[in-house]
A = this chain, B = another copy of it.
């Protein structure tokens, strides 16, 4: 890595942030998979790959519970992974202890994988609620360090 960034904490942040963002991108493919297999599209021009018959195509402009479930999971990723990336980047620059930082990143990324599985497979609560909360707690812990180290209002 460039001379700018040569700390192990920053390398760890780069690794975990990239992994969890790739996981988030995966939700797009899962949405596309369900849209195609469930024949449930939002755009007229998307139905042409599934059928040429205008009547059938019109019926495909529908909402589907599996598609909507994946989309809600994707939205929850945006709402939680974006804060992690922003606060995690600033946290990585506060020179935290390496093993403390690693555990923050690992717990967050692990919690988001568990959250996705819980959501997409509709595993009974509180599995999804707990994984969501664990991810938020690691974000809050990093935010606390950023604000106590860098506060400048």
Chain A residues at the B interface, C-beta cutoff of 8 Å: 1-2, 4-5, 7-8, 11-12, 14-19, 21-22, 24-25, 27-28, 42-46, 48-49, 68-69, 72, 74, 78-80, 82-83, 85-87, 90, 93-95, 119, 122-125, 128, 136, 139-140, 143, 146-147, 149-153
Contact = CB atoms under 8 A, between A and B. Distances in A.
Contact of A90 (B17, B48, B78, B93): B17
A95 B43 contact: no
A2 B11 contact: no
Contact of A25 (B2, B22, B48, B139): B139
A85 to B, nearest CB: 5
Most B C-beta atoms less than 10 A away, residue of A74, A79, A95, A122: A79
A15 to B, nearest CB: 5
A94 B2 contact: yes
B1 A86 contact: no
A1 B93 contact: yes
Given A93-B4, A122-B44, A21 B147 contact: no
Given A2-B95, A72-B42, A17 B86 contact: yes
Given A8-B152, A48-B124, 6 more contacts: A4-B4, A11-B151, A11-B152, A21-B87, A28-B79, A44-B122
Sort A-B residue pairs by CB-CB distance and give the 10 closest, nearest first.
A11-B152, A2-B95, A14-B150, A12-B152, A14-B90, A11-B150, A5-B93, A21-B83, A18-B146, A2-B93
